[in-house]
Structure 1
């Protein structure tokens, strides 16, 4: 089951982004830059709520033995995330103890408590996160993880992963707290040195225990899969400026669904109306284009028009409401090299 992400990073990308020993901390006031701050990942984030973005990554990477990555990610604004961990790995994600609002994992809302999520890098995954959100990520080599799971529970990794790609399990409050405190201990070691392999293995075993209690995951229905696929297809269309969509009715025609069906699909998968979500996706695309603009002759108007924003006044108002600055300020900072 594909999840609409870009290809996994190359070995060159991994080397370039590899952190030093100890804990690596990266802060950012831009959602796209923040998405690039997790080492070895290839992903795309869109900011969905209005205001200046603030994000922070605290991360450690253990490469002495089986490769293991542990991090905490904080995002102040609502986001839509298309995530791709490093090749050959499995990701496990856990909201932190300050969790607020509803999380949607691959289109499924997690409104009934805290869930431990799991996904193969080969398929990727999506997250829809609320404001003021913190999540822990644990990423391990798939082969090592599979052998450890078999040794502890006698289960195969495929038994835990829905259709071979994703899974999630509800956690008790006590298990949630236990996992969070253990991860925090890894991310704030004495002297900021890389923790021992035994401590990291203890964390992975506790995570597998949490997933392995019930080896049969709840299956995704055909309707759930279709809803998710339609929403992801709509996002792909919105991110192709050469095929600009002229409103929701035009999008419905391209997707061969009724307006009501599209509305229901978006509400189910993202908790948003299609018009609102797709406009924010395109505003984020404009922002990325402005940030990477090296041609001073290319104006804000040119870039906005490319992405289907025909009325510059309305566009500038919407842009400022979402990102907390005018598009001209974004372009100016990019040209001055201050991003």
Structure 2
């Protein structure tokens, strides 16, 4: 079965991937334009997710699954020379309560497989990521994209139920071979920065109306201001001071969307998220989301 859906808000796209738990927050300016496409087969799901703006994503993959991902490298200098722009690829074994950042214009193909079908539990019990050879991963990612492309044009050659299982087996066989020839990794170094970033965002979201500063967060979390800034920058590629504002603006947007059904004043929502200067809040909000808080409330 083929499914394709478009979205105009990060909150709408959170529920687009079957079996996933997700929260999306917009972290770069511009109107939101997102799309998901999926081919659902027995025990196998081919997914493609595109988003026009940068996003912070908190997510958990379906339980008992292994995720193959291929995130293309957008390097204009390589493309100008006609060389293949490879990316980041691999298998994720324990994607539970994770955080990631996607660039503006992201295009991410993924494959969801049953863990029991391809995974050597004894070998992978201590690993979180399995690094796949880029050339092989890029070839198989192109194959997945070609299947999605054919399905979107209604020329999907495997539309009959009697061959769905055959295609699922073929996909599993190819990716099991890639998995077995990949490199198992211990918890990556970036995990420490991710843990610190989680503490920062949890503190902001637990008390959004408080006037948080880098110094106050340093005292409350017991982490030096230097380490807070460095961890946030290395993990998100966004300065900590800006992250503090982005998280609160996204929180205000969520409440504005909910207020369409349970009316509230925009000014009250702004104050709930620590914005006490109305015009400054409206300016920052419009700069990020491409519309005013009042327009969000009335849409």
- Give me the TM-score of the superposition, normalised by structure 1: 0.76
Q: Deviations over 1:243-287 (max 9, x none)?
A: 734222111111112221111111111111111112112211111
**Any unmatched runs of 5+ in structure 1?**
1-21, 102-111, 147-155, 334-339
Q: 1:324 to 1:225 in 2, by over 3 A?
A: same
TM superposition shift of 1:170? 5.1
Distance of 2:132 and 2:115 partners within structure 1: 22
Query: How far has the Cα of 1:126 moved from its partner?
Result: 2.6
Q: Distance in 2 between matches of 1:267 and 1:204?
A: 37
1:182 counterpart residue number: 143
Structure 1 partner of 2:82: none
Answer whether contact 2:130 2:184 (CA < 8 A) is retained: no
In structure 2, the partner of 1:69 is 45
**Residue 91 of structure 2, aligned match among 115, 118, 121:** 118
Match of 2:67 among 82, 86, 91: 91
Map of 2:21 onto structure 1:
42
Larger mean CA deviation between 121-130 and 224-233 belongs to 121-130
Say if 1:304 and 1:78 are closer, same or farther in 2 by CA, change over 3 A.
Answer: same
Q: Is the 8 A contact 1:114 1:176 kept in 2?
A: no
Q: Are 1:133 and 2:100 matched, yes or no?
A: no
Match of 2:134 among 166, 169, 172: 172
Deviations 1:150-186 (A, max 9, x none): xxxxxx245346x34x20415333x244212210233
Q: Give the superposition deviation at 1:124.
A: 4.1
Please state how far the C-alpha of 1:40 moved relative to its aligned partner.
Answer: 2.1
For residue 215 of structure 1, report the CA deviation from its aligned partner. 4.3
Name the CA distance, whole Å, in 1 between partners of 2:106 and 2:122. Answer: 30
Match of 1:283 in 2: 249
Q: C-alpha root-mean-square deviation of aligned residues, in Å?
A: 2.4
Q: Is the 8 A contact 1:62 1:68 kept in 2?
A: yes
Q: Provide, for residues 95-123 of structure 1, a one-character-per-residue CA deviation record: whole Å limited to 9, x for no partner.
A: 25xx426xxxxxxxxxx952223334562
1:14-39 Cα offsets, whole Å, 9 max, x none, are: xxxxxxxx210100111111122112
* From 151, 165, 177, the counterpart of 1:197: 165
Q: Which residue of structure 2 aligns with residue 104 of structure 1?
A: none
Q: Quote how far apart the aligned CAs of 1:127 are.
A: 2.1
**Residues 238 and 245 in structure 1, CA contact (< 8 A), matched pair in contact too:** no
Q: Which residue of 2 aligns with 1:274?
A: 240
Match of 2:202, SS state, is helix
In structure 1, what is the Cα distance between the partners aligned to 2:15 and 2:70? Answer: 20
- Given that 1:113 and 1:171 are in contact with CA atoms closer than 8 Å, whether structure 2 keeps it comes out as no
- Indicate whether 1:28 and 2:7 are aligned: yes
Distance 2:104 2:290 in 1: 15
Report deviation, 1:85: 1.9
2:262 equivalent among 275, 295, 305: 295
TM-score w.r.t. length of structure 2: 0.85
Q: Which runs of 5+ in 2 are unaligned?
A: 76-84
In structure 1, the partner of 2:220 is 254
Distance 2:208 2:146 in 1: 49
Aligned residues: 282
CA distance in 1, matches of 2:268, 2:13: 26
For 2:54, the equivalent position in structure 1 comes to: 78
Residue 332 in 1 paired to residue 298 in 2? yes
Counterpart of 2:123 in structure 1 is 159
Provide closer, same or farther for how the CA distance between residues 251 and 245 of structure 1 changes in structure 2, counting only shifts above 3 A. Answer: farther
